[in-house]
């Protein structure tokens, strides 16, 4: 381990390096301009059955060992173009699969970078030795075209704070969207109202829906409205309703797959250019139940949208839109429990300062208060959080980032009051982590950055990105960290 002194504070960088692996590929639909689709299909249809079988066998020879379910993938993508096939044309299963193959491509999810990690306690601690902890690590993976997704690793932190990373699967898989789940009518209406999208058309759509409705129920209500020739309807309102439904969806992975096979790849239009910087937190409800939340940034190439992932098992995920005037910009991080009956969130509303927000409802954030402005030279340009706060007897420990001259990123720390987290009670004056010579070279030079840490056996475990390309792990004693902080007046 490499040791680094920050005044009296000893930070240990472990030897662990989590690096990108370009062989980890998913499949995506590869659909060209609609004028080309019938031509491609026709070329396949003109093949003899023997020729089609030989070609499909050749394709399978090259790809079947790279994907667990290649036939089902081909069939899904066949259905996406099946409307272009002449109805009277008989078609064999072989040619269906072959057509699907021509409209399928591989995508290397982490060929460009693997960075911005967040770590939480694994929901399953069975079989873990006393004093050790199983964890889930999420990372931002970036591939061709700078499209970002969320991937996962798992492992064990031993009692002495050494790490055992589990081998990653050679397979990766995207989830299936589930539209069988129900939406809450009242919550959906509130979100439309916050978007200024609640009008007479919206009212007519929702007056036909039950308090709990499915995506199909919503579609049926809208179609019924569109078929009603006696009343006009607002097309923009319908688009907003579908946009909101599209931004709030449900996904499921195969339960018997390893977590390293799970890839949350952009599925909705509003995140078409990437899912960025998920900050996971293990949240304790008032009744003691545990739910994992992750705030992330959805990007469509033009604007960003704060979103929330919800899971209990890292198999089933709900994706929910965050709403309100304060639900803006990047870097939102949820506290691990309510404080004084309210949800609490850190944010960087203006892109420059650290804010705190309180809300009665997890999905709505309307007010924000500045709690920290850049004060030290290493953060003069901007500051933000590096993940959700960690609860200590001394206060809420917040790992922060600061940006200094030459766009150099540093990792620091502040301590918030337990009962009034809008109050900073102590802070580090010097960075906790500064990019060293090895870490400063990469996709975005001179950057160390994290999206979430945890505490184990009085040690702070900080997974951190190195120049937006690779991930490492550092540790520091909690007691030494607190002792190195300067109290704030």
DSSP notation for 288-341? S-EEEEEEEEEE-SS-EEEEEEEESSSSEEEEEE-BSTT--SS--EE-SS-BTT
What pLDDT, on the 0 to 100 scale, is given for residue 7?
53
* Cβ atoms of residues 443 and 467 within 8 Å: yes
What pLDDT, on the 0 to 100 scale, is given for residue 180?
63
* Cβ atoms of residues 116 and 449 within 8 Å: yes
> What SS3 class is residue 473?
strand
Kindly give the confidence (pLDDT) of every residue in the chain, 489 residues in length, as a single tens digit, with 9 standing for 90 and above: 444 444 558 899 999 999 999 999 999 999 999 999 999 999 999 999 999 999 999 999 999 999 988 999 999 999 999 999 887 778 999 999 999 999 999 999 999 999 999 999 999 999 999 999 999 999 999 999 889 999 999 999 999 999 999 999 989 988 888 766 789 999 999 989 888 889 999 999 999 899 999 988 999 999 988 887 777 788 888 888 988 888 888 999 999 999 999 999 988 777 778 898 999 999 999 999 999 999 998 887 777 778 999 999 999 999 998 999 999 888 999 999 999 999 999 999 999 999 999 999 999 999 999 999 999 999 999 999 999 999 999 999 999 999 999 999 999 999 999 999 999 999 999 999 999 999 999 989 999 999 999 999 999 999 999 999 999 999 999 999 999 999 997
What pLDDT, on the 0 to 100 scale, is given for residue 231?
77
pLDDT digits (tens, 9 = 90+) for 394-431: 999 999 999 999 999 999 999 999 999 999 999 999 99
What pLDDT, on the 0 to 100 scale, is given for residue 179?
67
Residue identified by tokens 């299909």 is 41
What pLDDT, on the 0 to 100 scale, is given for residue 171?
92
Element (H, E) at 411: strand 409-416
Residues whose CB is less than 8 angstroms from the CB of residue 229 and which lie 6 or more positions away in sequence, other chains included: none
Q: How far, in Å, CA of 435 to CA of 164, rounded?
A: 24
What pLDDT, on the 0 to 100 scale, is given for residue 467?
92
pTM of the model: 0.91
What pLDDT, on the 0 to 100 scale, is given for residue 330?
86
pLDDT digits (tens, 9 = 90+) for 425-473: 999 999 999 999 999 999 899 999 999 999 999 999 999 999 999 999 9
Residue 7 gets the label, from left (phi > 0), alpha (psi -120 to 50) or beta, of left
**For the chain, what's the residue count?**
489
* Cβ atoms of residues 102 and 45 within 8 Å: no
What pLDDT, on the 0 to 100 scale, is given for residue 226?
84
What pLDDT, on the 0 to 100 scale, is given for residue 240?
86
Residue identified by tokens 């990792």 is 411
Domains and CATH numbers, the chain: 2-22+109-175+253-487 (2.115.10.20), 25-108 (no CATH), 177-247 (no CATH)
């Amino acid at each position: 381990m490499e040791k680094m002194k920050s005044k009296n504070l000893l930070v240990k960088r472990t030897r662990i390096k989590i690096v990108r692996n370009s062989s980890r590929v998913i499949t995506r639909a590869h659909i060209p301009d609609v004028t080309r689709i019938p031509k491609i299909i026709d070329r396949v249809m003109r093949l003899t059955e023997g020729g089609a079988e030989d070609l499909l066998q050749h394709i399978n020879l090259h790809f079947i060992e790279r994907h667990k379910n290649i036939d089902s993938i081909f069939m899904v993508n066949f259905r996406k173009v099946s409307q272009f096939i002449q109805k009277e044309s008989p078609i064999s299963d072989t040619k269906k699969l072959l057509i699907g193959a021509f409209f399928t491509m591989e995508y290397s999810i982490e060929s460009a970078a693997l960075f911005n990690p967040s770590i939480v306690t694994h929901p399953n601690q069975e079989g873990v030795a006393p004093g050790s902890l199983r964890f889930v690590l999420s990372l931002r993976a970036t591939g061709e075209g700078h499209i970002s997704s969320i991937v996962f690793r798992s492992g064990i932190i031993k009692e002495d704070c050494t790490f055992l990373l589990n081998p990653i699967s050679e397979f990766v898989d995207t989830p299936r969207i589930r539209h069988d789940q129900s939406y809450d009518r009242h919550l959906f209406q509130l979100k439309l109202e916050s978007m200024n999208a609640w009008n007479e058309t919206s009212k007519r759509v929702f007056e036909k829906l039950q308090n709990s409705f499915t995506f199909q129920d919503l579609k049926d209500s809208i179609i019924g409205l569109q078929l009603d020739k006696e009343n006009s309807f607002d097309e923009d309102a319908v688009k907003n309703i579908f946009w909101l439904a599209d931004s709030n969806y449900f996904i499921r992975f195969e339960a018997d797959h390893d977590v390293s096979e799970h890839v949350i790849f952009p599925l909705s239009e509003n995140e078409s250019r990437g899912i960025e910087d998920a900050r996971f937190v293990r949240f304790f409800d008032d009744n003691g139940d545990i739910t994992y939340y992750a705030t992330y940034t959805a990007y469509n190439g033009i604007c960003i949208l704060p979103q929330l992932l919800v899971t209990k098992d890292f198999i089933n995920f709900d994706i929910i839109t965050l709403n309100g005037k304060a639900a803006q910009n990047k870097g939102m991080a949820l506290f691990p429990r309510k404080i004084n009956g309210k949800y609490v969130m850190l944010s960087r509303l203006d892109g420059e300062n650290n804010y705190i927000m309180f809300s009665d409802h997890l999905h709505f954030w309307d007010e924000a208060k500045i709690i920290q402005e850049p004060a030290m030279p290493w953060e003069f340009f901007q500051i933000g959080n590096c993940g959700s706060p960690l609860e200590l007897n001394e206060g809420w420990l917040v790992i922060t980032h600061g940006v200094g001259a030459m766009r150099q990123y540093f990792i620091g720390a502040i301590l918030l009051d337990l009962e009034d987290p809008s109050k900073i009670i102590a802070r580090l004056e010097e960075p906790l982590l500064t990019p060293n010579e090895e870490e400063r070279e990469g996709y975005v030079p001179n950057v160390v950055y994290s999206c979430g840490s945890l505490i184990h056996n009085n040690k702070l475990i900080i997974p951190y990105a190195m120049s937006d390309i690779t991930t490492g792990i550092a540790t520091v004693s909690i007691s030494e960290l607190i002792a190195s902080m300067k109290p704030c007046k």
